[in-house]
Amino acid sequence: MYEVTVESGFSSGHYLRNYRGKCENPHGHNYKVRVTLVGRELDAAGLLLDFKLLKQVMRPVIDRIDHQMLNDLEPFTEINPSAENLARYFYDETNVQLREMTSGRVCVKDCTIWETDTTTATYYE
Ligand SMILES: [Zn+2]
């Protein structure tokens, strides 16, 4: 199997509902996101997927939430914008597109969100 990984970042506000602690009040994080792709076959150029293409897929997903209050945006008006749910959000948004682009040759293996330098949450299926 081959894997390809791209990291990026965004800065957003959030607060956690039904939670007692620091994160119940509105505040911001400089988040980092890492998306890892997996696949068994390379393309004609010997790539699983051009890093540039993965960045292009991640860009609009990031732009939608960068410098926003996450709680005001779907699906975080309903579910909490926790690092766990953000990881799943990136997984779902990027996986659908990548599978389409590559006719199922490449899919997302996992997504990790850094809420701080030392705390991460990962989603995979
Ligand atoms: Zn927080």
Question: How far is the CA of 113 from the CAs of 34, 88, 100, 110, 117, in angstroms?
Answer: 7, 9, 24, 10, 10
Write down the pTM of the prediction.
Answer: 0.95
Q: What is the mean pLDDT of the chain?
A: 96
Q: What is the largest CA-CA distance in the chain?
A: 53
Domains of the chain: 2-123 (3.30.479.10)
Active site residue 23: yes
State residue 1's pLDDT score: 97
State residue 63's pLDDT score: 98
Q: What one-letter code names the amino acid at 108?
A: V
Ligand 1 centroid–CA 67 distance in Å is 14
Looking at 14, 23, 93, 111, which residue is catalytic?
23
Ligand 1 centroid–CA 109 distance in Å is 25
Ligand 1 centroid–CA 83 distance in Å is 8
Active site residue 111: no
Mean pLDDT of the region 27-49: 97
